[in-house]
Structure 1
Amino acid sequence: MSLLPLLVVPLLLTSVGTPSAATRRIEPGPVYDGRSGKTKVSVPRAERAPVIDGMLDEPEWGTASVLTGFSQFFPTDGVAAQDSTEVLVWYSGTALHVGVRAHAAPGSVRATLADRDRITQDDNIQLFLGTYNDSRQALVFAVNPFGIQSDGVLTETGAATGGGFASTTTRAREATDLAPDYVWRSKGRVTDRGYEVEIAIPFKSLRYRNGDVHTWQLNVVRTVQSTGHEQTWTATKRASASFLAQSGTLDGLRDLQRGVTVDLIPTVTSSAFGGQGATPGSWRYDTQRPDIGGSARWGITSNLTLSGTANPDFSQVEADATQFSPDPRIAVFFAERRPFFLESQEQFSTPNRLIYTRRISQPIFATKLTGKQRGFDIGVLSAVDSREASVTGRESPLFNIVRLQRDVGKQSRLGFVYTDRTEGRNWNRVVGVDGRLVRGVYSVQAQAVRSFTRTGDESGSAPLWDLSAVRNGRAFYARYVLNGISRDFDAQSGFIARPGIANISATHRLNLFGKPGALVEVFSPEVYVLGRYQYADFVTRRPAQDAQLHLRTNTRLRGGWQVGAQWLREEFGFDRDLYA
């Protein structure tokens, strides 16, 4: 009897001194307020993978880093966002996990069960993830309130934005290339207070530098359709030549596990043709020999990938939509849609589309190496095309393409391109250099290229050159372009919409911003002038063949309404050779 109290007391002490998991207090994660400049995020790590169901109820979300303090970016920057947004970030050994709580007035959320990459008319959240921390390129992962996905790559090249009736809708950043599709998971739901979305991005779907500790750039953009506003986590300014350079960072990512990244896609294609036999009521079938092919991809390292394909089957690729060109002098462009060529397509991007993989119509074999190594972006592609793509129908065209880019400073770069298409004794080679210099709101881009072609016993060469300067200010935008393409310039591995011309153009646009809450949010008058010359006439200083003058005004009103007007004066000349 005397031993009973001694046995009970230790048990009670154990129960009081060690709280259960259900009653253990969870320490909340740190808060990073973008408007306060707290944009260097220390990301917590947890090993348990949550269920992607749109419910941010796992314990890991309670300890995640919280990104808040969003700013309005469009149409007016520099002011606090009207809508409250919280982005939760943590990572496991195999994936980056992001949760979103987007608060909104009841009934104001716009969401549909849209197709992939078709969510621009819905409310959406966009993650700009720069895994190389170079302020030049970022992977884009976007979701609408239901978790419908849109993804792609944003590569800053200094391309023009705006123009036309929609110039005030320009986001002061370049468009995202939505052609690539990545493997990631998302789920969302609309709530009484707005919507919530849960996202998991596996590390094996990303490319990043080798190392023990990683720092990645991150910015989050929220689009609110009810007001037409765009909001960013960092206090991003329109007056900048780079949108990505204004991102925050995810610091301290360690021991990332990609596993063995090997993809094998074998294909077997067979067909049978049937017809009526010799006797009435009988049928005869002729089965063709099956075609065997496939593709393979090997992630050599976290930032270097080797891919190959042999006799691929592209029957599942989306068909091209019909296009109509109002100008018969300009070739019609069709975007690349084949998966093998889409992967790492950004590594082969050049000004003036000197690389156009659809020139490889039906490859018998192709291989490519892509990635980033010691500050160089690398893209190497070799392919043997079908004989049906040759001029004679007897030789198989051979393609060799090399694209190298070198980081220079924080945002500038230098690039080199070489393409070679050989068909028997005939060949076409293109060699060029290009570069972009960025300083504050100013950027300058230049390109010099020369083509070398041999057809039969004849050979020749011709130049292409391009120079542009941009001032991307908040109140004043200006762009000046001077380029020329010789009539004899030939890029058989690229796409030149119209050779034999030279262009001089200038764009000036003012942005006049109204006060917060005013009826007029921004008023933008714009002047655009263009002179287009036959290349030979430009060299000999003869008058322009085409001349254009565009006067535009665009007004954005409260609630997302737009009113625009424009007056156009255009003169077109006839190509002497085309209309001879």
Structure 2
Amino acid sequence: MFENIKKTTRLKIGLKPVFNLSLLLGLLVFSSSKTLYAQKRITVNYVVSDAFKIDGVLDEVMWQKAVPTSGFTEYFPTDSKQAEYQTEIMMLYNKGFLYIGVKGYAPGKDYRTPSYERDFSISGADIVNLMFDTYSDRANAFLFGINPFGVEREGVVYGGGVTGDLDLNWNTKWVGESQMYDGYFISELKIPMSAFKFKEGITSWKFSAMRSDTQSNTKSSWTRVPQNQNQLNLGYFGDLIFEKPLVKTRNPISVIPFVTPSYTNEHYKGEKSFNFKAGFDAKIPVKSSLMLDLTVLPDFSSDDVVSGQNNVTQFEIKQDETRLFFIDNGDLFNGFGESNALAFYSRRVGIGKDSLGEDKIVPITVGAKFTGKINNNLRIGVLDVQTEGDDEYSIAANNNLVVAAEQRVFKKSNIGAFFINRQATNYDESLTGTSYNRVIGSDFNFFSKDNSVDGKLFFHKSFTPDISSNAISAGNELNVEKRAYSLGLTTQYVDAGFQSDLGFTKRKDILRVNPSGAYNMYPKSEKINTIIVDASYNAYWRASGDMPLSEKYTALGAEINFTSGASIGLQGTNAYEYLYSSFDPLGDKGSGDPIPVGGYHMNYLDLDYNTDRRKAFWLEGTTRYGAFYTGNKFTTDVTLQYRYQPFFYVALQLQYDDIRLPEPYSSGQIWYLGPTINVTFSKTLFFNTDVQYSSQSNYFLLVSRLQWRYAPLSDIFLTYTDTDTTAPFELFERGIYLKITYWLDIKRKNKKK
């Protein structure tokens, strides 16, 4: 069946809201006339048999009924010709499963993978990703990937794929296998129809696929995607046509219980203890597109270690969510606002602040989440989580409620609204914080047909005891991505009194204006792929009083992207910052006076670089040198990685800040070291060790974890942790944790019609 195939910055300005709205409406009219590239389609025929052996051979007689599709278009290093080494895809289905066969041609047999670990990073690796937009709304898509070694990955594309938003923390059960040959590989996949959410009776989905071939150093897509757009962009999907209307079977109820015995030695308290935890998560399908998630006494001891870093700014650093309960439809809750002003930030749930304002982990007792689509245009979500209090740190127990809805308008755009309520359940005046915090708001998200133009308008208001005014967060974004250029505009306004205890607000009391743009050049060169020249202006005014200028950054830069995958960029920045309070960038390590209140002009250069990730050894990093308030600062942040595929890789993250300020201010060096060792003995047995050392925070952290996936999505984790202080070096806490999880699917009989 395969024999017939041959080789063949973002612009972010704030003007008045009315003007911004008119810009969006004008772009809406403009984008409606945008013509996409010709649509492709793949036909999926129905088979009765389930007698498929998933081995990457495709020798079952049923495959003769499949209709293959090919004609992949190159995406990198060019986007204007057919891929020389083609990929062919064919599919079959029945009531229970979707079967997929893939054949990818290559120059030889030197295929590459970083490891055998599921959800692996695709940088410098061979991969075929298959994406399914089951509601054909170009908003979200399920992604299933497999490489020539048979290593799997799955995730959810959200936000239309405009900026490549992909959440690989989403999991579902499926099987895949591959066979490698000289000149081609074959992959075979079997995905339960219950893994998808779709409307019963439909006959088509939107679909696309993309492939990375390291031997020819090319990337290609089933449908043509311009190089200035992300390959995940749902605006360029084709059609997947089913032979018969889809019949939705009753999805199984998934119950994921766990037990975690542990031993901890808290040296700082002089206490040793044996503990035992047990709890469960559950996923209960209500309808074909609605899901009820439950969690009881969740334990996050097996979560990946969050990468650390030096922080010499005045502001908090945002991290990604990796906890299972918050993953499915997480974009519905976490998407209100913009990256520096999120109304809801799920990592806040389970975190309380003590009397000093320091974050402390508080246990989650129980949680429920109800999410999904009511119809093709309306998505809803309700999340309710109860967290315990902590008498030692004067933290109240809280009920955390979020209600969200998203209505599609026009072709791809949507209007969302939400209500957030954090309510203390045992509050008294001796506890930190307030008895409640509430936030309401609405967002309008605009997407053109091909996602080359997108924008956002949002307005949020908070309610907190004793604060009834000056509690608004609002803003807009407008972004244009064309082949030759990108433009955009962001404005942001946050009152001093705005407070979202469950959100992420990097700055308050600001009015921000941030236009930027870039010009893309595509030289006819065997070594250089693109040259990008970009400029930006980012200014902050204090929103209260007479609105003085607080910060201003004017930047001009250039970037060269090579056909090897390496790149180098240089940017110069002229900055102004006004400190409203004294500030010591060395934190507790500073021995001098803090930098005083006042305005500071600074100029500095940034150099960004990365090498070819297909190589066994590669590095990426950024280096900055220039003025820093009253003195100078040299910063380098580099990651080095060595891979011995597919069994072993080691990485080292190094961040170094050398701050030189005149007396009487603090001068000194700050180090962060983060080595990682990852060993994959097989596709089911993994070992990794993460080490973190921070001279700024005076801590040393060691986390070693052995993981055995003894059944699909079911694991045994053995984890050792060691936390020490480094000034002086003293043992702080050690622990050993054994966590056993099992993913149980309880099948349900279909209802009789």
TM surpasses 0.5: yes
Match of 1:91 among 90, 93, 116: 93
- Cα offset, 1:270, TM superposition: 5.5
SS at match of 2:301: coil
Closer, same or farther: CA 48–572 of 1 in aligned 2, 3 Å = farther
Match of 1:206 among 193, 196, 209: 196
Closer, same or farther: CA 426–561 of 1 in aligned 2, 3 Å = closer
- Cα offset, 1:248, TM superposition: 1.1
Closer, same or farther: CA 245–271 of 1 in aligned 2, 3 Å = closer
* AA aligned opposite 1:196: I
Q: Matched residues in 1 for 2:37 and 2:65: separation? A: 21
Match of 1:343 in 2: 328
Match of 2:414 in 1: 413
SS at match of 2:63: helix
Closer, same or farther: CA 111–319 of 1 in aligned 2, 3 Å = closer
Q: Matched residues in 1 for 2:349 and 2:218: separation? A: 42
Match of 2:308 among 322, 336, 343: 322
Q: What TM-score, normalized by structure 2, do the two folds share?
A: 0.64
* AA aligned opposite 1:355: F
Per-residue deviation, residues 354-408 of structure 1 (Å, max 9, x unmatched): 2222222122111110101121111110111111299734x42011101211111
Match of 2:494 in 1: 485
Q: Matched residues in 1 for 2:521 and 2:193: separation? A: 43
Closer, same or farther: CA 389–377 of 1 in aligned 2, 3 Å = farther
SS at match of 1:571: strand
Q: Matched residues in 2 for 1:323 and 1:27: separation? A: 49
Where do 1:55-74 residues align within 5 Å?
55-74=57-76
Q: Matched residues in 2 for 1:230 and 1:71: separation? A: 9
Q: Matched residues in 2 for 1:471 and 1:36: separation? A: 18
Q: Matched residues in 1 for 2:582 and 2:178: separation? A: 56
Match of 1:169 in 2: none
Question: Kindly, what percent of the aligned residue pairs are identical?
Answer: 22
* AA aligned opposite 2:80: G
Where do 1:12-411 residues align within 5 Å?
37=38, 39-49=40-50, 50-120=52-122, 121-156=124-159, 173-209=163-199, 211-238=200-227, 243-252=233-242, 254-269=245-260, 291-327=277-313, 329-350=314-335, 351-352=337-338, 353-361=342-350, 362-374=363-375, 375-388=377-390, 392-393=394-395, 395-411=396-412
Contact 1:135 1:245 in 2 (8 A): yes
Per-residue deviation, residues 35-61 of structure 1 (Å, max 9, x unmatched): 995623321011323111111211222
Contact 1:119 1:150 in 2 (8 A): no
- Cα offset, 1:519, TM superposition: 1.9
* AA aligned opposite 1:453: T
Contact 1:514 1:520 in 2 (8 A): no
Closer, same or farther: CA 504–62 of 1 in aligned 2, 3 Å = same
Q: Matched residues in 2 for 1:273 and 1:80: separation? A: 59
- Cα offset, 1:509, TM superposition: 1.9
- Cα offset, 1:95, TM superposition: 1.4
- Cα offset, 1:124, TM superposition: 0.7
- Cα offset, 1:258, TM superposition: 3.8
Deviates more, 1:73-82 or 1:122-131: 73-82
Q: Matched residues in 2 for 1:293 and 1:392: separation? A: 26
Contact 2:255 2:282 in 1 (8 A): yes
Q: Matched residues in 1 for 2:263 and 2:107: separation? A: 59
Any runs of at least 4 consecutive aligned residues in structure 1 with deviations exceeding 6 A, and if so which?
Answer: 26-30, 239-242, 271-274, 285-288
More strand per residue: 2
Closer, same or farther: CA 443–255 of 1 in aligned 2, 3 Å = closer
Closer, same or farther: CA 541–520 of 1 in aligned 2, 3 Å = farther
* AA aligned opposite 2:126: D
Closer, same or farther: CA 286–364 of 1 in aligned 2, 3 Å = closer
Match of 1:445 in 2: 456
- Cα offset, 1:541, TM superposition: 5.0
Match of 1:428 in 2: 437
* AA aligned opposite 1:432: G
- Cα offset, 1:255, TM superposition: 4.2
Match of 2:652 in 1: none
Greater relative contact order (CA < 8 Å, ≥ 6 in sequence): 2
Per-residue deviation, residues 64-121 of structure 1 (Å, max 9, x unmatched): 1212011112343232112111111111221111111000111453235342222412
Match of 1:531 in 2: 538
* AA aligned opposite 2:531: S
Q: Matched residues in 1 for 2:463 and 2:317: separation? A: 24
Contact 2:79 2:226 in 1 (8 A): yes
SS at match of 1:564: strand
Closer, same or farther: CA 434–391 of 1 in aligned 2, 3 Å = farther
SS at match of 1:174: coil
**Two-structure CA RMSD over aligned residues (Å):** 3.2
Contact 2:520 2:533 in 1 (8 A): no
Q: Confirm or deny that 1:462 pairs with 2:471.
A: yes
Match of 1:568 among 566, 572, 575: 572
* AA aligned opposite 2:40: T
SS at match of 1:245: helix
Closer, same or farther: CA 491–64 of 1 in aligned 2, 3 Å = same
* AA aligned opposite 1:365: V
- Cα offset, 1:27, TM superposition: 13
Per-residue deviation, residues 195-254 of structure 1 (Å, max 9, x unmatched): 111111111222222x22342111010112234422111123356799212211222353
Structure 1 unaligned spans of 5+: 1-25, 160-172, 275-284
Structure 2 unaligned spans of 5+: 9-35, 266-271, 351-362, 428-433, 584-596, 598-753
Q: Matched residues in 2 for 1:487 and 1:77: separation? A: 48
* AA aligned opposite 1:54: G
Match of 2:730 in 1: none
Q: Matched residues in 2 for 1:563 and 1:270: separation? A: 47
SS at match of 1:125: strand
